[in-house]
């Protein structure tokens, strides 16, 4: 996608064969040759940084894919669930206000989540690039985010929506709860969160579809297969 901006040979465009980039909160991730080339080209063209949103129901793999895509494109992965859990663990006033909503599987209030996200994005070194995971989740949040992003020249390049059948979602999240001891990953809470997502997501998807930035991705298959589907669509974008 940047071929017109480089004056190099095809050999110079290839990054080292054994390159890897650590995702936030985990060790180095080994990427395919195509993913390494994407990362290499973006490093050579660091004036443009991806700004995207990941939308998906619980268990669809937002956290995993968000970390991988952020690492490939050299930007920050900002997960609102992690931000809220961090506040709860630190026993901050924000955490105390959010803990009840999280335990029930409800969405935290818009002003609370918006403040956390804006604070984190504002702290990024310019040019700010990010993969947002878990916000916006409602039309009201999306409109607020768009107004703030327009004012600060930080609107999304793409909104990635992952589609996974409900039975797979429940299975994934319950298994995650058993292995990670997360109290909000019970079957009852998961079903509530899935149904809440279904209720709120369609207007949100239409909002971003009407802006021409929605990318709908099949979220089934291996982690690597889903990453490759996302990367193939993002590489076709003109990041500006």
- Which residue in 119, 129, 21 sits closest to 76, CA to CA? 129
- Report the mean per-residue pLDDT for the chain: 79
pLDDT at 31 over 80: no
Q: Which residue intervals of the chain are DSSP H helices?
A: 33-44, 62-73, 80-89, 93-104, 110-122, 139-151, 166-180, 187-210, 223-235
Lowest mean pLDDT among 38-47, 71-80, 154-163: 38-47
Check residue 96 and give its pLDDT. 85
- Which residue in 18, 16, 13 sits closest to 2, CA to CA? 13
Check residue 42 and give its pLDDT. 53
pTM of the model: 0.73
Domain range summary for the chain, segments of one domain joined by +? 3-9+30-80+125-235
Check residue 14 and give its pLDDT. 31
**Whole-number percent of the chain with pLDDT over 70:** 77
In contact, 37 and 219? CB cutoff 8 Å: no
Instruction: Give the separation between CA 97 and CA 33, rounded to whole angstroms.
Output: 45
Residues 137-179 have pLDDT tens digits of 889 889 999 999 999 999 999 999 999 998 899 888 888 777 7
Check residue 183 and give its pLDDT. 58
Check residue 213 and give its pLDDT. 96
DSSP letters spanning 53-89: EEE--TTS-HHHHHHHHHHHHT-EEEEHHHHHHHHHH
- Which residue in 175, 146, 161 sits closest to 206, CA to CA? 161
pLDDT at 232 over 80: yes
pLDDT at 194 over 50: yes
CATH architecture of 3-9+30-80+125-235: 3-Layer(aba) Sandwich (3.40)
Check residue 17 and give its pLDDT. 35
| Enzyme catalytic residues | 62, 137, 176, 182, 193
CA angle 20, 26, 32 (to 5 degrees): 30
Q: Work out the average pLDDT over 207-216.
A: 96
In contact, 21 and 68? CB cutoff 8 Å: no
């Amino acid at each position: 996608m940047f071929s017109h901006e480089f004056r190099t040979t095809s050999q110079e465009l290839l990054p080292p064969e054994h390159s890897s980039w650590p995702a936030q909160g985990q060790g180095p991730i080994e990427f395919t040759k195509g993913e390494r080339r994407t990362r290499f080209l973006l490093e050579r063209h660091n004036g443009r940084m991806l700004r995207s949103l990941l939308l998906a129901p619980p268990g669809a793999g937002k956290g995993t894919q968000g970390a991988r895509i952020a690492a490939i494109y050299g930007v920050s992965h900002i997960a609102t669930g992690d931000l809220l859990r961090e506040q709860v663990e630190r026993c901050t006033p924000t955490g105390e206000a959010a803990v009840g909503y999280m335990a029930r599987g409800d969405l935290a209030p818009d002003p609370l989540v918006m403040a956390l996200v804006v604070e984190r994005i504002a702290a990024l070194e310019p040019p700010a690039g990010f993969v947002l995971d878990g916000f916006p989740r409602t039309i009201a949040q999306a409109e607020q985010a768009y107004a703030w992003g327009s004012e600060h020249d930080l609107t999304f390049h793409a909104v990635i929506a992952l589609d996974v059948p409900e039975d797979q979602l429940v299975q994934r999240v319950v298994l995650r709860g058993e292995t990670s001891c997360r109290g909000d990953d019970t079957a009852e809470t998961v079903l509530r969160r899935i149904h809440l997502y279904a209720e709120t997501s369609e207007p949100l998807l239409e909002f971003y579809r009407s802006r021409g930035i929605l990318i709908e991705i099949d979220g089934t298959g291996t982690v690597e297969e889903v990453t490759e589907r996302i990367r193939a669509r993002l590489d076709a974008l003109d990041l500006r």
